[in-house]
A and B are shown apart, each in its own frame.
Chain A
Amino acid sequence: MSGNPYQDDRGNKDRTITNTGGSEWTGAVRSGGRAERVNGDGPFLIGDGMTGGYGTGANILQDCTISVERGEIAVIVGPNGAGKSTAMKAVFGMLTLRGGAVRLNGEDITRLTPQARVARGMAFVPQTNNIFTSMTVEENLEMGAFLRRDDISATIAEVYDLFPVLRDKRRQPAGELSGGQRQQVAVGRALMTRPGVLMLDEPTAGVSPIVMDELFDRIIEVARTGISILMVEQNARQALEIADKGFVLVQGANAYTDTGKALLADPDVRRTFLGG
């Protein structure tokens, strides 16, 4: 632990989330339009050479780079404990980087709080505890749109069109839904800000293969609307099949980076990570 005598291990709660220092509360939310590229022609979102760990602990990420182009799907795969979730949190500002930078649309956002990144059009579905279990499906969506002050009913309707089962269950507490439906609520909540980039940490964890295929289809559908997807996946093979770009992480560092197809074809990757 970090040596803070007051602290408690409260799950994956990160002190940095509540860090308001250096934040820039714009309160503004992208309303679907495309933001202007400020400079350069780098990727839409990139965590570039990220190095860092939790609190004052050891570095978990070692010069790790992940990125996604506009409207594309990028997938991060790798063994358990490789630091995939940590890399996602780092991109979202939930832990303080000791090296490297995060850029959104060419703009350096390394110092922004997660809340400020939400306001800039980033959305994140954490691996665990990603819904409000005691609240209804519709309330979950409303909370996703908390920063918006305009009419959100059209966005709610869009989410229900994407996940029709949620429309039927909209008055039910989200905690009562099945695993796959909960993940739909989690993704739906994240979509409520009409983000430019959607980050998903293992959206298919713990769901049946049929539900998994269904979720992948929906994610592709979301990407087709122009939203970039940066996704961690356990089911590496299926995920790389739909990925424009793939990152294989091992012990917090990039092991392989290529297009999804190339990684699937790479004999080394196949042998080590895809089971032959």
Chain B
Amino acid sequence: MDFLNAFVALANFVLIPATAYGAQLALGALGVTLIYGILRFSNFAHGDTMAFGTMVTILFTWWFQSMGLSLDPLPTALAALPFGIVVTALLLLGTDRIVYRFYREQKAKPVILVIVSMGVMFILNGLVRFIIGPDEQRFADGERFLISARDFKEITGLEEGLAIRTTQGITIITAVIVVALLFWFLKSTRTGKSMRAFSDNEDLALLSGINPERVVAITWVIVAALATIAGVLYGLDKSFKPFTYFQLLLPIFAAAIVGGLGSPLGAIAGGFLIAFSEVSVTYAYKKVLGYLLPENMEPEGLVQLLSTDYKFAVSFVILIIVLLFRPTGLFRGKTA
């Protein structure tokens, strides 16, 4: 029995990766939930918006690298991130002007806007593949580890190593800062309050003199920032591939819906819930159990509940359970 080593193994393979992944999902789900709250539709183009923002950031990263610019030990992508956000914001404002505004003026049903957003999704999808190609890109540079497994073993003398990658640390710190800023903005600024008012009661917001087009524009800009940051953090932590980002739609929507669509707090809780479920269900516990159980009881198999190939099923199952038993989500958002 070796609790310490078991815990370190668990932290190394489940807790830390799931926390980073949860933060990435939470940022993605925040974007989805903001669009739902203000524009009142589920934006299927969100995954591809993340891909677009990440692509722009990668292009700027390559350009900076070619000029010899570096933030070492931090990844160069962090310097490129603001540019990615600006370009993505312009893209989203342009899409709104060309596509969504027309339907808004018609007071189109949400379901029509959802389908429109699928159209936008396909176009963005093609655009990203056309510009950067469908292949996988790795763009993380700088120091790879905050703590490497070997250092950890040397310092602690434990058998099991604990590695914290720089990208995981950056993900968590960035997510905390972004979420704090967002909540401060929504809670304390005049513009943020007007967004909440508009989300709460559109007609009354208009009767109070709140300009809907301004609220919508600011929402798109914030969503561009959230989507790009989420996408870049995910890409740094894993890698960038357009198709993977499209697939992220499912866990992100699951997170937003599980938390309660329209509820920012819910999006964060949902992101972590989905991430922890996904990682812990697909992790092979053989090693952890090996430390915990007496030698003769050591498991033969991998003790993995679900193969990683099926990780998307986890989001799906959680989504269905929540929709069956609590359709408004854990934090009582608007009905999904």
A residues contacting B by CB (< 8 A) are 4, 6-8, 10, 12-15, 17-18, 20, 92, 114-115, 118-119, 124, 126, 129-135, 139, 142-144, 146-147, 189, 193
Contact = CB atoms under 8 A, between A and B. Distances in A.
B201 A146 contact: no
Interface string B189-210: 0100110110011111111111
Contact of A143 (B108, B202, B210): B210
A135 B200 contact: yes
B203 A115 contact: no
Contacts of B147: none
23 contacts: A7-B109, A8-B109, A13-B107, A13-B202, A18-B206, A18-B212, A20-B213, A115-B207, A124-B207, A126-B203, A126-B204, A130-B204, A132-B205, A133-B201, A134-B200, A135-B200, A139-B193, A139-B197, A143-B193, A143-B197, A146-B194, A146-B210, A147-B208
Contacts of B213: 20
Contact of B209 (A18, A20, A115, A131): A115
B108 A6 contact: yes
A121 to B, nearest CB: 12
Contacts of B107: 4, 6-8, 10, 13, 15
B90 interface: no
Contacts of A131: 201, 204
B260 to A, nearest CB: 12
A144 B206 CA distance: 10
A95 B193 CA distance: 28
A143 B206 contact: no
B112 interface: yes
B206 A115 contact: yes
A133 B200 contact: yes
B273 to A, nearest CB: 23
B207 A13 contact: no
A17 B206 contact: yes
Contact residues of B: prevailing secondary structure: helix
Interface size class of B (residues with CB under 8 A): 20 to 34
B193 A142 contact: yes
A181 to B, nearest CB: 17
A119 B108 contact: no
Nearest to B202: A13
Nearest to B110: A8
A175 to B, nearest CB: 9
B206, B211, B212 pick with most chain A CB within 10 angstroms: B206
Interface in B90-137: 103, 105-110, 112
Contacts of A7: 106-109
Contacts of A118: 207-209
A7 B105 CA distance: 10
A49 to B, nearest CB: 25
A4 B106 contact: yes
B96 to A, nearest CB: 15
A134 B210 contact: no
A6 B109 contact: yes
B204 A8 contact: no
B194 A6 contact: no
A92 to B, nearest CB: 8
Contacts of B196: 132, 134-135, 139
A114 to B, nearest CB: 6
B206 A114 contact: yes
Contacts of A14: 203
Contacts of B200: 132-135
Given A133-B201, A143-B193, A143-B194, 9 more contacts: A8-B107, A14-B203, A17-B207, A18-B105, A118-B208, A131-B204, A146-B197, A189-B208, A193-B209
Nearest to A125: B207
Nearest to A149: B190
Residue of B109, B202, B209 with most partner-chain A CB within 10 A: B209
